Amino acid sequence: MSTRTARGAMTLPGRYYTDETVFHAEIERIFLQRWLYAGRLSQLPANGSYFLYTVDKENVIVLRDEQGAVRAFYNVCRHRGTRMCSEPEGQFSHSIQCPYHAWTYSLDGSLIGAPNMHEVIDFDKAQYSLHNVSTAIWEGCIFINPSLPPAHFTEAFAPLINKFTQWHMPELVAVHRLEYDVRANWKLIFQNYSECYHCPGLHPALNQLTPYRNSGNDLMEGPFLGGPMRMARDGGSMTISGRVCAAPLGEVSGEDRNRVYYYTIFPNMLLSLHPDYALIHQIHPQSPDRSRIVCEWLFHPDAIAKTDFDPSGAIEFWNMTNLQDWHVSELSQQGISSRVYAPGPYAELESMVAAFDREYLRALGNHL
């Protein structure tokens, strides 16, 4: 366990939560440059299956090609720029066709059909493949990176590679998904998740299961932050009853059966690893004062197959907790928007928030 310190840090100035110029800089310098969590491999169950991922004005098709490889392409036809795919998820047969002039692409992005373009001198289909977006797979999660060239994934994610193998995350599948529209800046979501200073007053049920001082950090600086909290009840979990709702995941054993691990994965993923299930929050910035959050509960298929499987305790617990967090984040957004707001001091229990701020400012750079 780490020794906590906020190093005398102060909260960020208000413009970082309210200013359109800051928000656009974040999109350009962070969300279009970093590896972004896009979804789970289980969302692509067959060759040709796809889902869409949006970051600001960019829309990306994430799919399995005919060899089963995961690929991603900008959802932009190379002819007149038309968005080709509108449904948020689905199944391609063997190709992607633009609805405007029927330019057609294979699932590897190559242009294979362009009606009447043979009449154009020197037209070469090989020059008009879909624009590629880099992809990587980690623990059953699909990441995309719109930058050219992207940072090498294994180097960027070095602190996390093989860190969570005992949970067997690639085997897990989502049993429930909720989307939230939160009237708060995306950073407030990260910052709220990163500390439990607020837990006794805001989350009495959570604080009873994991008392707010039962926490430590094993990643304390950089883009990945967090660590474990010990549960008050041995062999319990974060559910309405405080009891587990499935067998322990993978090879989770020993003291890890009495802990929950919480990590922020910059810039758009929150990962919560329980003894019996995993929880993933995916964050989509919409504007300086609005965020869309997708929350998924992941269980092992063996647990799901049992006749008495009931994840409702986990779902109800975290939906309750989420709503409490979103409400206070919206109150924070409203207060920060006041002309009298000024940066205040972090408590020692907010050391991970201060670390998040440092990484955020490093990533944003001198572009304001």
41-60 pLDDT tens trace: 999 999 999 999 999 999 99
Q: Say whether pLDDT at 6 is over 80.
A: no
Residue 123 CB: number of other CB atoms within 10 A?
12
Q: How would residue 367 be classed by pLDDT, with cut points 50, 70 and 90?
A: low
Across the range 31-41, mean pLDDT stands at 98
Of 206, 53, 250, 78, the residue nearest 135 (C-alpha): 53
Q: Could you tell me the CATH superfamily of domain 36-155? A: Rieske [2Fe-2S] iron-sulphur domain (2.102.10.10)
Which residues are 182's β-sheet partners?
291
How far is the first Cα of the chain from the last one, in angstroms, to the nearest whole number? 37
CA-to-CA dists, residue 143 to 16, 46, 282, angstroms? 26, 18, 12
**pTM of the entire structure?**
0.96
Amino acid 359: pLDDT? 97
Q: Please report the pLDDT score of residue 368 as a whole number.
A: 62
> Do you know the residue count of the chain?
368
Structure-token pair, residue 161: 């590679």
Fold of 15-28+162-364: Naphthalene 1,2-dioxygenase Alpha Subunit; Chain A, domain 1 (3.90.380)
Check residue 28 and report its DSSP letter.
I
How far apart, in whole angstroms, are the C-alpha atoms of residue 73 and residue 293? 23
Residue-level pLDDT at 318: 98
Instruction: Write the pLDDT tens digit of every residue in 203-223.
Output: 999 999 999 999 889 999 999
Task: Return the domain boundaries, the chain.
Answer: 15-28+162-364, 36-155
The confidence score (pLDDT) of residue 2 equals 47
Strand, helix or coil at 346?
A: coil
